[in-house]
Chain A
Amino acid sequence: MTFGRKLLSATALAMVFAGATAIGGPAPAQAEAKAGGTLVIGSTQKPRHLNPAVQSGIATAVPGTQLFATPLRFDANWKPQPYLAEKWEVSDNGLDITLHLRKNATFHDGKPVTSEDLAFSLETVKANHPFKTMFAPVTSVETPDAHTAIIHLAHPHPAILLAMSSALLPVIPKHVYGDGQDLKTHPANSAPVGSGPFRFVEFNPGENVILEKNPDYFIEGRPYLDKIIIKNYKDTTSLTLAMDKGEIDMYPFLEGARNINRLKENKDLTVTSDGYAAVGPINWLAFNTKREILAKKEVRQAIAYAVDRNFITKALHAGASTIATGPITPASPFYTVDVAKYDLDLDKSKAMLDAAGYPEKDGARFSLTIDYIPGGDEQQKNVAEYIASQLKKIGIDLQVRAAPDFPTWAKRVSSHDFDLTMDIVFNWGDPVIGVHRTYLSTNIIEGVIWSNTQSYANSEVDKLLDAAAKEPDEAKRKADYVAFQKIVADDLPIYWLNLLPYHTAYSNRVGNPPLTIWGTMAPMDEVYLNN
């Protein structure tokens, strides 16, 4: 019987996984994976629709990765694993990537997944997704047969493997989305047809997303869960209470220090910071280098010397967050710790400002403003207020400029109408996707938020980043990024403060919690529930 065999293989697999988790950490050792059950995920992020091909962000990515399968997936060690593509080859010159798709994969409407769909998806993402660097070097996609796709590149582009995972390259059916309607407003975005482990049931904007098991999923015996419900809560406090009371099974992207510490006290829950390696969410202080005073590197460094990152992580975030030392998240293989550090030193800071030509007159050297993203007080407003009180000590009058809502803040920053601003920017896995945009002088685009709004320009940095983007050899690529990190940490267009304390809280009855580099933004076909 098929069901019996499925269950048997499921059990065997679960034992393998249970062994892995026993080595990996303190996760409760569950002997076997059980099929069935409904996983309820709580979130404050409300998706506009569910198609990650044309929409970035966590809210769409979590349900989107359950609905749509991608060519590849990544394990917890940043290694690509087969997913829709069972094998792939990169040519020696790095210009052609051949993907061999599984022959048994079908969309939720029963039609087979073909290389045509892959080519169509890649073109869609390239044309519509805000992360333009992901597939910019792709010149064409060749489809010699229904299950082979060859991606041709203008130059070697190592970041493309990561860009084919998680929510970044969902394979969407051409026969549904290729009907000529605008992809950004396609009706099927809110009722998607994919090939992922779960299929669409219901989407009530602002309330919930309901998904059910895809019985024809291309990986035998998966998924274990019958249903996933992503339930929206209006704020983190009510969501934390719901998690504490056991109303939900999982709370990804949990970030308030007090909420984290509260849930850590609950014996029925596990709270972990694993699963956010690829997101790389950095909370930082950005300088508008077009401002006369802030154009001087010494002034920016002097400000950094007055801001104590240890105080921010230990006192303001109650030990929940960790220090970010540079533009690349410490979890990335390209990270280097060996950069200028700016440990708190008020005397040095004052001396640097004196030397830069801003002596203290009547207790003040000059006035500046600082903006922050409204809404997340712990990471943004409180830190801005702390910086203001620190800069007062070195004779800088820093006025905190409140914005009533996100668009107001985004407009100020993207139109370069700011002196200093707090900001939160994600690495999104590969530096090409989430890091380059902030530092390339070619990406100073007025009106675009999360471009190079600092107006930072250094030709050496441009050269290094361009070289790293095209370098197929990982060691050489890392060398370029190390050099880049050293330069920007010295130029300091941005003073990186801390990583957001993203945590996932989950009930101890959840087996195989999603803790790879993409966390919950990856298919949850291995997750199961014990009762």
Chain B
Amino acid sequence: MTGTEQVAAPEEPGAAPLKVESPIREAWRMFLRNGSAIAGLVLLIGVILVTFIGPQVYPVDPFEIVWAPLTPPGVDASIPFGTDYLGRDVLAGIIHGGRATLAVGASAAILTVLIGIVVGALAGFYGGFVDEILMRLTEFFQVLPPLLFAMVLVALFTPTLTTVAVAIGVVSWTQTARLTRAEFLKLKQLEYVTAARAIGSRNGRIIWRVILPNALPPLIVSATLIIGVAILFEAGLSFLGLSDPNVMSWGLMIGSSRSYIIDSWWAVTLPGAAIFITVLSVSLIGDGLNDALNPKLRER
């Protein structure tokens, strides 16, 4: 046979047209039904607004020494959140530091997902020898203690935001890889994949255009959660003194003020609260997406 035959949908005149909602709209509708997910979304929008518009509204240089060191909140209206160990405005640090923190979180999550998807997709799709090699590699990375490994990576190169983001990405991709592999193992046996193969699609096309879009829902959920983990990771590395001292970030604020926590809780607790709110909002959204995108959970 040459040419493919178009099968037209049978039209039944008079019958009401079948209402088919697009999957994205449907997921969105499901998402909106979830109260905690909406709360998460509102929080995240708030965080993003503060981070990206805040610096214009509150243009105090976070590195400038504006008051006596370790002044508690409420002493003066110009420093509502108090000052840190150098006398820098904690509020300015939180507002200006969000950008770097979110950037590290997002870029580390993107890197994590990219590495994870490539490794997982190749392993799951090809199986056999490729699978063996890639999965042993994944296991190798999985057994390394992530924080220790990230510390080594950051210490080897100078601590900058880029190295921190890369280090987080490099140590945390294994879960995504395993998840992607599992999805691929499942999906590659389905009929539409066989069909795609039958019409002569190359492997590359099948992997990236046929299977991957269908494997995305769980990956999106996991990527969202990874943003939260990455932000915490950045804070953890900063806590251990491994962060770029020239760029204000929440992790840096916590890390450099940690030894003052007994006398001056605000310098650590307030940026900590900012991290908490951000991670919480991302997690709530992740949970909401999980419910919305997973057909098995939809009818609950």
Q: Which residues of A contact B (CB under 8 A)?
A: 237, 258, 315-316, 374, 377, 381-382, 384-386, 388-390, 392, 399-402, 404-405
Looking at the complex, which one of A258, A386, A404 makes contact with B155 (CB distance below 8 Å)? Answer: A404
Complex Cα distance, B252 from A377, in Å, reads 13
A399 touches B246 (CB 8 A): yes
B159 touches A377 (CB 8 A): no
Q: Which residues of A contact B256 (CB under 8 A)?
A: 377, 381-382, 385
Q: Taking the complex as formed, is B78 at the interface, i.e. its CB lies under 8 A from any CB of chain A? A: no
B interface majority secondary structure: loop
B246 touches A389 (CB 8 A): no
Q: Please judge, given known A-B contacts A381-B245, A386-B86, A399-B246, whether A404 and B65 are in contact too, CB under 8 Å.
A: no
B259 touches A392 (CB 8 A): no
Complex Cα distance, B159 from A401, in Å, reads 9
B245 touches A402 (CB 8 A): yes
B68 touches A402 (CB 8 A): no
A315 touches B87 (CB 8 A): yes
Q: Taking the complex as formed, is B295 at the interface, i.e. its CB lies under 8 A from any CB of chain A? A: no
Q: Which residues of A contact B86 (CB under 8 A)?
A: 316, 382, 385-386, 389
A374 touches B69 (CB 8 A): no
Q: Taking the complex as formed, is B241 at the interface, i.e. its CB lies under 8 A from any CB of chain A? A: yes
Q: Taking the complex as formed, is B260 at the interface, i.e. its CB lies under 8 A from any CB of chain A? A: yes
Chain A proximity mask over B62-75: 1 for CB below 8 Å, otherwise 0: 01110011000000
B244 touches A402 (CB 8 A): yes
Q: Which residues of A contact B68 (CB under 8 A)?
A: 315
Chain A proximity mask over B233-245: 1 for CB below 8 Å, otherwise 0: 0000000011111
Chain A's nearest CB lies how many Å from the CB of B96?
A: 14
Q: Top 7 A-B pairs ranked by shortest CB distance? A: A404-B155, A400-B245, A389-B63, A402-B159, A315-B69, A399-B246, A402-B245
Q: Please judge, given known A-B contacts A402-B158, A402-B241, whether A389 and B65 are in contact too, CB under 8 Å.
A: yes
Looking at the complex, which one of B159, B241, B259 makes contact with A237 (CB distance below 8 Å)? Answer: B259
Q: Which residues of A contact B149 (CB under 8 A)?
A: none
Q: Please judge, given known A-B contacts A237-B259, A389-B64, whether A404 and B246 are in contact too, CB under 8 Å.
A: no
Chain A's nearest CB lies how many Å from the CB of B63?
A: 5
Q: Which residues of A contact B141 (CB under 8 A)?
A: none
B245 touches A382 (CB 8 A): no
Chain B's nearest CB lies how many Å from the CB of A309?
A: 15
Q: Which residues of A contact B246 (CB under 8 A)?
A: 388, 399-400
Q: Which residues of B contact A399 (CB under 8 A)?
A: 246
Q: Which residues of A contact B87 (CB under 8 A)?
A: 315
Looking at the complex, which one of A382, A400, A405 makes contact with B85 (CB distance below 8 Å)? Answer: A382
Q: Taking the complex as formed, is B150 at the interface, i.e. its CB lies under 8 A from any CB of chain A? A: no
Q: Which residues of B contact A386 (CB under 8 A)?
A: 65, 86
A404 touches B154 (CB 8 A): yes
Q: Which residues of B contact A392 (CB under 8 A)?
A: 63-64
Q: Taking the complex as formed, is B21 at the interface, i.e. its CB lies under 8 A from any CB of chain A? A: no
Most buried by B among A386, A402, A405: A402
Q: Taking the complex as formed, is B11 at the interface, i.e. its CB lies under 8 A from any CB of chain A? A: no
A404 touches B245 (CB 8 A): no
Complex Cα distance, B218 from A231, in Å, reads 54
